[in-house]
Amino acid sequence: MTAGGVFRPVRLDAPEGGSLARGGVQSTIGLLAQGLLRFVAALLVGHIAGRGEFGVVASAIAAATILSLLWPTTAGAAASKFFARARGAGDLGGLSAIAAHLRTRTLLASLVLGLAAIPVWVFYDGGSWLGGLCVAALAIAYSGYIFTRGVQFGAGQVRRATVWDLTSVAVGLLGITVLLLVGVRGPALVLALAAAYGLYALAGWPYRVTGRPEREQRREIDAFVLFGAAGALASTGFLQFSQIAAGLVGGVEQAGVYASALSLATPASMLAASLSLVLLPSLAEAWGRGDKAAFHAQSDTATRALATVMVAIFGALLIGSRLVVDLVWGGKYPEARDLLPILVLAVLATNLAVGSVNSLTTRSRRGVRLTMIASVAGMAVGVLVWLVAAPRWGNTGIAIGYLCGTTVVAAIPVVVAWRTGGHRWGALFAKVGVAVAAMVGIAVLQRAADLPVVLDLAFAAVFLVCWLLANRATVTALLRGRGQTARP
């Protein structure tokens, strides 16, 4: 792709084609690259700039991400859903109108949120307006990125999106390295991420779309975004709020400690996010053409695949948490050893619900409302735990509150999708429960007996082998790239 292709409009009516598995692989590459950008940036800032600066940068990223959830993030999901549904129904003429509607709404929302970021950051950090401008730039750029990502996936342009993921990540990594080496500190460091996300947004922006959807469809789209934004603010935003809470409770030093654990717990969740980007348009297309059998099969396959892969990854990470913290951070953030297992469980719960959430939000407005209610209820539970535990236990109390809240957020959509879809997930989630109990038990034993850290790798390997053997039918199906995984 040439440099001039940065401004080439996305083809909404020409999906690249290919299987769900192939699209999942391509989107995984892109999102893993984006996860690498966040992780390496955190690693560089945490090691070079120190705890306090790490806390400031992590909080600035959290603030910008929270603001983007107020519209642009769900607008990207709306593009994925409504583009694909229109294609499934054969309504190709409506694609341009939907894109134009979402583009206008997102542009206005991004500018307003960018302006709001300035006083929000000055109030939170007690810093300068210049720092607020840096956070505003990141909020606008990330809003554009998350929206145009949904546009490209909704248009079936997964390969194109992946190319720009890799390109923008290279820009971001170069930028953060240069800024750190020349001595830049504070929120100005997020300008490197703003440049990366801004490049991606320019590459995927739907420039030449025209038209306006019918009033009823506009109302449906806007309702989807509004309910989705409320749900995202209380679910995805909950994670970012926990980072903000760490700074409010313990100051920038403890915010840096919390960020050190969070940066290790979240990258693997990019796998689930990549599946979600491919799954939502696929489910919407199946629903749009009235193929309920394919819809339920895809929901079932996604949930089984996520359970198998995520429990393996997060189980090994939890059991090896002491070793991982020592390898990544050395002796700079020893408190992260005990924070990481709690955060890993919370992120695992979120990932296990991805298939169910996509299934419910694709079906109807009722599904969107239900996931929103689950998210709000979960966040309320988490905040209540924070009020009780954070003053006493600091970062540990914040991590426990986040775990309690995300468990509620994940459990409700899983149970509802399980019942409405008639899925046979009993044996699947029983195995998940046993695996979680095993990984927690091993982690407690490691610490209670003060076992050598070098043994963590052996414990993690044994757990991984046992889990994969218990799910060998699903593992075999995934390795063969079959569309359907075997039932346990």
Per-residue pLDDT tens for 352-408?
A: 888 888 778 777 778 878 888 999 999 999 999 999 999 999 999 999 999 999 999
Residue at 487 is within a domain? no
Residue at 264 is within a domain? yes
Number of domains in the chain: 1
Tokens 């693997």 map to which residue? 268
pTM: 0.84
Structural domain for 277, as ranges? 7-480
Show the CA angle centred on residue 52, arms to residues 270 and 134, nearest 5°. Answer: 65
Tokens 């996305």 map to which residue? 10
Per-residue model confidence as pLDDT tens digits over 140-168: 999 999 999 988 887 878 788 888 999 99
Residue at 2 is within a domain? no
Q: Coil, strand or helix: which one is 64? A: helix
Residue at 486 is within a domain? no
* Contact call for residues 205 and 152 (beta carbons, < 8 A): no
Long-range contacts formed by 338-341: CB under 8 A, 24+ apart: 338/396, 338/447, 339/257, 339/258, 339/261, 339/395, 339/396, 339/399, 340/261, 340/264, 340/265, 341/440, 341/443
Tokens (6 digits) for 224:
């989807």
Residue at 488 is within a domain? no
Q: How far apart are CA 376 and CA 75, in angstroms?
A: 19
Residue 46 per-residue DSSP state:
I
Residues with pLDDT less than 50, the chain: 1-7, 19-20, 483-488
Residue at 1 is within a domain? no
Which residues fall within 8 angstroms of residue 45, CB to CB, at 6 or more apart? 53, 54, 57, 176, 180, 189
pLDDT at site 483: 44
Which residues fall within 8 angstroms of residue 108, CB to CB, at 6 or more apart? none
Q: Coil, strand or helix: which one is 290? A: coil
Residue at 268 is within a domain? yes
Tokens (6 digits) for 110:
């991004």
Characterize 87-114 residue by residue with b for buried, 16 or more Cβ atoms within 10 angstroms of its Cβ, and e for exposed: bbeeeeebbbbbbbbbbebbbebbeebb
Residue at 485 is within a domain? no
Q: How far apart are CA 273 and CA 277, in angstroms?
A: 6
